[in-house]
Structure 1
Amino acid sequence: MSTPASMLDLDRFRATPLQHEPFDFLCVPGFVKREHLEALHRDYPKVDKPGSIPLGVFPQGPAFDALIEELRGAAVCQAFSEKFGLDLSRYPTMFTARGMCRATDGRIHPDSASKIVTVLIYMNPPWEASGGRLRVLRSPNLEDYAAEVPPDEGTLLCFRRSDTSWHGHHSFEGRRRAVQMNWVRNSVYIWHEQWRHRVGAWLKNRTAAAPARR
């Protein structure tokens, strides 16, 4: 039985130096191989609401399933462990997907202390808007940035979480797709986040479906 072709360019990832200022981060355009992008666009979860949505809430297709399976695999874990100098095999992974961006999204934050490494894989056509471009920040000031990353299809941004791993973007409203993977400290955090996101989505659906009061 033949091995499925890798969707990820781990050689490109390994060859890209880790940046240490203002914190440990890495940006790899073309991390997802171009020949897989069409299928991934087709099979991306049909997320029609803002927020980080746990996988399985919205329908997704086989190509997207294959991407997640590869991201969960030993080769990816080893490559990221070597890059960050951590044994990430000790930690569970959490996955969410974004499909829509609110004007209020992108507020500056360093990520939860329960996260160890954050991985973002963008899945959008070439980005033309000035908003929605994630900035790697030196401080909680959106204009004090070391790098700006357009969320173009196949682009990877990853970083080691710290109390000063500030990031955010200027306001954008509309479709903005991103897969997020986190190595986290324990499975309890994953359960809590999935429960929180699912309940939040349920409440939003109830609110949207409720008849307007006169």
Structure 2
Amino acid sequence: MPPSVRPSARSFFWAAASCAVLVLLAIGFADRPVSTWSHAHLHGQQGFIWLTWIVDPIPPLAVLGLIGAGIAVVAGWRPGARGRVLLAFCLATVAALVIKDELKILFGRTWPETWTNNNPSWIRDGVFGFEPFHGGAGWFSFPSGHTTLITAPMVVLWLCVPRLRAVWAALIALVVIGLLGADFHWLSDIIAGFYLGTAVAIGVVALLRARP
């Protein structure tokens, strides 16, 4: 585990403020042009969709990892440095999975494309906006779950296994490229998902680093 992960109140404030500013700028000036361009020039290219699949095995592996760790602890295992990294990876992923779903319900944002249950979208219907607490898969775009679920575990590894930071950053970048290329998410969704995943990772690593 890294020797210290204790963001100050000031750094937390500036991170939250920068997230809000970037998200609002993207909503106002970038989301619709990026989605329209992606649909016009990249629509249907399977390579971008395949990149988004990088995320798919991570949540089930994290759940299995936590189950296995729980059984091992009952059997007498006490995690050392590597064990704590594994726990942080799994806990950050599961926490990110729960939090992002609750935020999706809270914000109720429509998608760039129509792809599930005839959902309203920007490309098909010209729909663009938020309907808080609307519910339903058609209002589940913000924040990006894929971005959150790749960022949280990769930031844990970024903090705990710094010699491979290029790998962890590349995996995040590949998923983001896939999401934008496939027009699966707004740019602002991705920005919010990145900040959320980073916050979850830092919080989990700091929690596991803490001493009684």
TM over 0.5: no
Greater strand content? 1
Greater helix content? 2
Normalising by structure 2, we get a TM-score of 0.27
Normalising by structure 1, we get a TM-score of 0.26
Say which structure, 1 or 2, has more relative contact order (CA 8 Å, 6+ apart).
Answer: 2
